Each structure stands twice: as structure tokens, then as C-alpha cells.
Structure 1
Amino acid sequence: MPSVIAEIEAISLRIPLKADLPGAALWGEPLEAADALLVKVTTSDGVVGWGEAFGLYGTGLAAHALNELITPLCLGRDAGDIAALMEQVQRRLHVFGRGGAITYALSAVDIALWDIAGKLAGVPVAELLSEGHRARALPCYASLACYTEPQRVRAVVRRVVDDGFGAIKLHESGLPAMRAAREEAGPAIALIVDAGCAWSLPQVQALAADLHALDLTFLEEPLWPPENFDGLAKLRRRTGLPVSSGENVGTVMEFERLLDSGAVDFVQPSPAKMGGITELRKVFPLAGTHGVPVMTHSFYDGPGLLAAIQVAAALGGADAMIEWRWFDQLTSIYGDALAPMNGRIIVPQGPGLGLDPDPDAVRAYRF
């Protein structure tokens, strides 16, 4: 008898940030805690897998989609036939859209099922994806909140440089903040700017000289709307700025259109947003045919992050870096078992995703 899905549970967490670096924000909203939505899938024979849905302020939407729409379609189904189940659920729910909270919740179930598959096989997910995979450490960059004011930006950049990171991502759209970060970090630190779809094409073209002066590794999502792939391609051609995008792309077909348009120097699929590991793994060969490196988006720090690490370790090239969300929270659900050292992170080698959340941390910060 195959192992079937017996239970799916949504677990919302809220972990406060430490108070010693005030002023953190996201998209103009003050940030005092990090919300997350974990999804726990249990099989009929008692194997537990963990997934994560992208949520931030929208964890309630993803939890509702999970409970009301996705879970009824998954209970009693073969836990090992992941690709077939994911396609069937997508077909049933496509009338509600091919992205957003429903896809985020489905991503979490997919990640949890891959966790279960690895545990049943007794190997990490990376081994399931790439036979002969060898344990290694991956470079990672510190992905910061928005601090806006140059002095606050300097303070947090100094902290992460002192922590050993050789690469930093800002979530800023103001040149004073960007310049402060470059000045504080110095020329040896790789600097990335996620502009959060802040500009029109003429606006960012007018800023091109200033952005070139920052020596960016890449400029992420500079244009509104994010699906303006033709605009991104024009930006690359006209300015020579290195451009990345992909976290808001919901399907593999959209990734194909993004790459065909010549819009990016780096492509950024997000496992907790686009359908989990099942869909994420398809982007790597697609990007390879276009000669574009994959730089996974993982602005979360639970099983979604582990999914990005495992897939990047198995399928990523030498240019792959892991996004480490540096929110300086009071705790991590993995404790000290998952932490960068000198700007690199060791791929966990336990079965499945490699690590399970600390049950004490889950109980303490359940929301």
C-alpha cells in the first residue's frame, strides 16, 4: 500500500525582531516581527514533512487557501506521486488564478512532500534531484529589510559585514541609502539592490549612471509592473545594467517568456511562491538553454529556504548564491543548526530537507 496524505496542518508563526536596530520596514510598513506560514504534512504511516508558503503580511490568505481549497484535494492521495498530484490540484484550482496565495499554499504542500520523499529514501532532497550529489557549502548574501535613512543603512551594513558576509542585498529605492551602503561596505563587498518595482523605464534610465557607480552585482525588479519583461529587456540593452527578476513569476511558461525576451542577467524563481520544488527544478534547465544563471529567491527562513538550498546545491551552477533573510530575529526555528559562516552556508545532509523545525520554537511563536 502506498503512503497516503493523512493530515495537513497550517502553522502560523510570528517571531519578533531584536530591538537594537530600529527602523526596519518593508514596503513602507514598520517591521517589528517576521510572520511565516509553515505547513506540516503527515502520512498514513506517520512520516512528517514540512513546507512553507510565502506570506509576510498575507499568511492568513495562504492559510485560508490551504484549508479551504487545497487540503480537501490532497487528503487520501498518494504522498509519493508528487508531480501528478500537484498538476491535478493546479488544474482543479486554475480558475482562481495561477499565482498568489493559492499557489503559495500549494508550494508549501509540495515542499513538504519532497521532504517526506527524502525521508523515506533516507537521503537529502539534493540527492533525489541529482544522483551523486556531494555535500558542499554555498555562498549566500545577507538580504536586508528597508532602512531608508543613510545612517541606519550604514549601521546594518556594518553589522552584516562584521558577521562575515561578502555580499549584501538592499531593499531600497533611494540613492542616498544605496550610496551609504556602498561607502560603508567598501568596494570588495558584492552589492545587490532590490528596488521593489519602484520605477518606470524612463525613471531608471535617468538613474543609470548613478546605479553604475554603485558597481551592483545586479539590480532586482527595477520596473513597475513586474511583468514588464519587454521593459526589462530594453533597460538592459540601453543601460548595460545587470538586471534580475523572477520572484513574482508564477509559472514555468512565464519563466520561458521572461527568458525568451532577454529581460534578465539572473533569473530568480521562488520555491515558496511558484509551486515548490516540483516547479522550481524545471527552471534550471530552461535557464541553462539561455545561458542565464539561476539565483533562487528565498526571502523566508523556514522550509522554503531549505528547499532553495537543496535545489541550488543539486542543480545550480558556480554562480548560484543563497538569499539569507537577515532580519536579526529573536530566534530561528532551526536554532544554530542552520547559520551562515563567513558568508557561506553548509547544505544540510539529513534526509529530506535536512532539518526539522525546533518544536519548542514553533510552540513559543505560534500565532
Structure 2
Amino acid sequence: MQIASIDTIVLRVPFTVGGVSAAGVWGGAGLQAADSLLLRVTTDDGIVGWGESFGFIGIPMVKAALDELLAPACLGMDATQPEALGLDLQRRFHVFGRGGAMMYGLSALDIALWDICGKAAGLPLYRLLGGTRREQLPAYASLIRYADREAIAANTQRAIADGYRSVKLHEVDLAVIRAARAAAGPDIEITLDVNCPWSLAEAIDMARALAPLSLRWLEEPLWPPENYAGLAALRRQCGIAVAAGENASTLMDFHQMLGAGAVDVIQPSPAKMGGISALRKVFALAEAHNTQVMIHTFYDGPGLLASIHATAALGDARAMIEWRYFDMEARVLGDAVVPRDGMIRVPDGPGLGIDPDPEVIRRYQVG
């Protein structure tokens, strides 16, 4: 079964977020649309697999890496060997980077090939990864950054009203974070992703100030994100579980992070770090280091599906699915996996289980 064609599809879907978003690492203030990059891989016998790269403002770079380098190198290759093909491409193109656009493109390709493998076998992806007894998984509402006390309180309460028992903030202002905790009350779990803003000394001071708020974890507190020794030092001193990993690109990055004792929760991002082939190895590494895996999933297409299947098959009983809590004008997967009462269904169709909605692609494709 050979790869016959590879197509990159860029979507731009408008959304609202219950107010005005503040600037963040994903884009400027007032963000009103989510850009995503889908990958369609078709085999010579007509099986179509779907992948997804991490998106937002980095899409043009990833699209160029796929269109100009990776896709031409894949034509005619065996579509049923995602891990071997991915490793070959990494070795062939490593001089152009072991992270960023190149790895994002490889991640989308790997997810699409696993989708093909599942469809060819007539099995859902979680079965290829070892099976699951769970038909649904808990989800947490991942909010955008508001940098406003009233907005964060209102949207925290809105997520709770929608059935979520866990909410992730992306705030960096203490007053705003405190407003979210006050709005949530003591029984709702809150996690905090600050996107790598602080030195070690600053992070220690902030962690002490955050201690009364009973966070489940503090995510990516240090700059630079690969300061694993600093994360380990913070973890020893701060009294809050430390989470990181969405910016790690290779298995060696995860090996070094876990070896340093840097995190309580490790967060591989399958649309950024090599797809399912790499993700399953991170689960094994984490188990050997007694560290929980909580997959980073700030996207809502095939990358989200890959995360659901991997969590269902390989995650522990406390593992959750990150749900990007946006009010999308349309969803690339339709309503099939929208959480209900804070739970998200594990698709049971072949491969990823759900293909992108062709009508959504037709209406929102921009490149």
C-alpha cells in the first residue's frame, strides 16, 4: 500500500470566547479565528488518512515544510510503516531542524499514516495501541487568556455550567487567577498554563503566591522551556505539581526532562513532537519514571482524535483530555466528540474514527 498523494489544507474558522481574548503565544489580542493545518494522505488503493499539525500563526512555515520537502519524499513509500518512514525522514532532513515546522509536519504525517493503518485493519486506533475499557474520558475546559478579572470569572463559571469539573487558565496576573478561583469555588479543579514567562527566581516567588489557590499543576513556568534543571529546582521548592512538555520536540527531549526529575506531569503534543509513533514511546518513558502523562491538545481535528485514542489506550485513570474552550462557528469534526457533562467520547470507527467534515473544509479552506 503506497502513498499516492499528500495534500495540505489550511482552515480558518471564526470563533468567540465569551469576551475579548488577550495577547498570547498563539497570536495577538482580540483573536477571532482559529487557523488549523490538516494533512490528507491518499494511498494507491484509495484509503485516505488524516493528520493535523499544530497551527495558529506558524502554519505557513509548516505548510512549506510539508509541500516542499516532506510530501515529495513520501510519494511511493509504504503507507503502513509510519514509524520507519518518520525516522527515515528525520534522518534525511535533520539539518533543517529537529523541532518547529519540520517536526510539526512530520507529526501530521505520522497521525495520517496511523489513521490509514487503522482503516486498512478495520480497527479503531486505540485497538492498535493495546485496547481500552473506556468508552469516554474526562475533559477539562482550556480557556484562552483574558487578562481581565470579570471575563475570567464569567468564563470559568460558564465552563462549570457546561459540566466541566476541571478548568485550565492561561493567565499570568495573580489578581486574575484569584478571580477565577473565587468564581470556581473550592471543589472545581484549576490548572494554570503560563507559557514560559519567568526566570527560576520569579517562578519560585509566583509559586509561593499561588500556593493558597490549590492548583492541580503549574504548567510551563520557566523561560527557556528546555531549562530542565531549573524546572527540577522549582519542583523541589514550590509545593505545586509542575507540568511541561508541549514544547519538547524529540524523544531525547522527553528522556532528558524525565531524567532530570523536572516534572510531575509530562505533556507531549502529538501534533508537534512526532505524532502517535513518538507519543506511545513517551508513555513508556513516563511509566518508567513514575510520571503522569497528560497530552497537550490545543487543537480540534485529527490531532485531538490521536490524543483521545492514545489516552484511552495508554493513559492512567486520572488522565484527561484538553478541550479548547472556544465557541467555534463550525467544527472540523462536527459535534461527534464535543464533550457532554465534562466527558468526551472515544470514537470506535476504524482508524481515528472520524474524518473531517468535507462541508467545513469547503466553507473554511483558505489554502
The TM-score, its normalising length taken from structure 1, stands at 0.97
Q: Deviations over 1:272-325 (max 9, x none)?
A: 000100000100111001100100001111100100110111111112111111
Alignment-derived partner of residue 59 in structure 1: 59
Equivalence for 1:268: 267
Q: 2:7 corresponds to which residue?
A: 9
Moved over 4 A (4+): none
* Percent identical: 54
1:45 alignment partner in structure 2: 45
**Are 2:267 and 2:296, in contact at CA under 8 Å, matched by a contact in 1?**
yes
1:260 partner amino acid: G
- Contact (CA 8 Å) 1:235, 1:241: kept in 2 or not? no
Q: Which runs of 5+ in 1 are unaligned?
A: none
Q: Is the 8 Å Cα contact of residues 18 and 155 (structure 2) preserved in structure 1?
A: no
The residue number in structure 1 matching 2:84 is 84
Partner of 1:322: 321
Give distance in 1, aligned partners of 2:48 and 2:302. 13
Q: Tell whether 2:197 aligns with 1:202.
A: no
The one-letter amino acid paired with 2:341 is N
Q: Distance in 2 between matches of 1:19 and 1:363?
A: 24
* Cα 1:266/1:20, change in 2 over 3 Å: closer
Displacement of 1:154: 1.0
Is 2:305 the partner of 1:300?
A: no
CA distance in structure 2 between the aligned counterparts of 1:19 and 1:228, rounded to whole angstroms: 32
CA shift for structure 1 position 345 = 0.6
Q: Is the 8 A contact 1:24 1:32 kept in 2?
A: no
Distance 1:23 1:317 in 2: 33
1:77 shift after superposition: 0.2
Matched letter for residue 141 of structure 2: A
Deviations 1:314-337 (A, max 9, x none): 111112111111121111111111
3-state SS of 1:272 partner: coil
- What secondary structure is seen at the aligned counterpart in 2 of 1:138? strand
CA distance in 1, matches of 2:278, 2:75: 21
- Conserved 8 A contact 1:51-1:110: yes
Give, as a single letter, the amino acid of the residue that structure 1 aligns with 2:128.
L
CA deviations 1:96-128 (Å, max 9, x no partner) are 111101110110011000001101111110000
Give the stretch that moved more between structures: 121-130 or 134-143: 134-143
8 Å Cα contact 2:17-2:327 kept in structure 1: no
CA distance in 2 between partners of 1:290 and 1:170 (Å): 27
Give 1:209 deviation, angstroms. Answer: 2.4
Alpha-carbon shift at residue 23 of structure 1 (Å):
3.3
Aligned twin of 2:340: 341
Length, aligned pairs only: 364
Deviations 1:185-208 (A, max 9, x none): 111111010011011111121122
Given that residues 25 and 145 in structure 1 are in contact (C-alpha distance below 8 angstroms), is that contact kept between their aligned partners in structure 2?
A: no
In the TM superposition, residue 240 of structure 1 has moved relative to its aligned partner by 1.9
Q: Tell me, in whole angstroms, the C-alpha distance in 2 between the residues paired with 1:356 and 1:349.
A: 12
Q: State the one-letter code of the partner of 2:65.
A: A
Matches within 5 A, 1:17-36: 17-18=15-16, 20-27=18-25, 29-30=28-29, 31-36=31-36
Q: Which amino acid aligns with 1:98?
A: R
What SS does the aligned partner of 2:64 have?
helix
AA at the equivalent of 2:37: L
> Distance in 2 between the 1:164 and 1:318 partners?
19
Cα displacement (A) at 1:354: 0.9
> Structure 2 regions of 5+ residues with no counterpart?
none
2:5 partner letter: E
Alignment of 1:1-367 (within 5 A): 3-18=1-16, 20-27=18-25, 29-30=28-29, 31-130=31-130, 132-367=131-366
Structure 1 residue 341: deviation in Å? Answer: 1.0
Q: Do 1:38 and 1:51's aligned partners in 2 also have CA atoms closer than 8 Å?
A: yes
Q: 1:157 to 1:249 in 2, by over 3 A?
A: same
How far apart, CA to CA, are the structure 2 residues paired with 1:304 and 1:296? Answer: 11
RMSD after superposition: 1.1
SS class of match (2:36): strand
Deviation at 1:25, TM superposition (A): 4.0
Q: Distance in 2 between matches of 1:32 and 1:40?
A: 26
Shift, 1:135, TM fit = 4.2
Q: d(CA) in 2 for partners of 1:319 and 1:284? A: 14
What is the distance in 2 between the residues matched to 1:350 and 1:13?
24
Q: Following TM superposition, by how much is the alpha carbon of 1:170 offset from its aligned partner in structure 2, in angstroms?
A: 0.7
TM-score (norm: length of structure 2): 0.97
Note if contact 2:216-2:240 (Cα within 8 Å) is conserved in structure 1. no
Contact 2:141–2:322 under 8 Å retained in 1: yes
In structure 2, C-alpha distance between the alignment counterparts of 1:274 and 1:207, rounded to whole Å = 29
Change beyond 3 A, Cα 1:299–1:73: same
CA distance in 2, matches of 1:8, 1:65: 13
Greater shift, 20-29 or 183-192, is seen at 20-29
Paired AA for residue 41 in structure 1: V
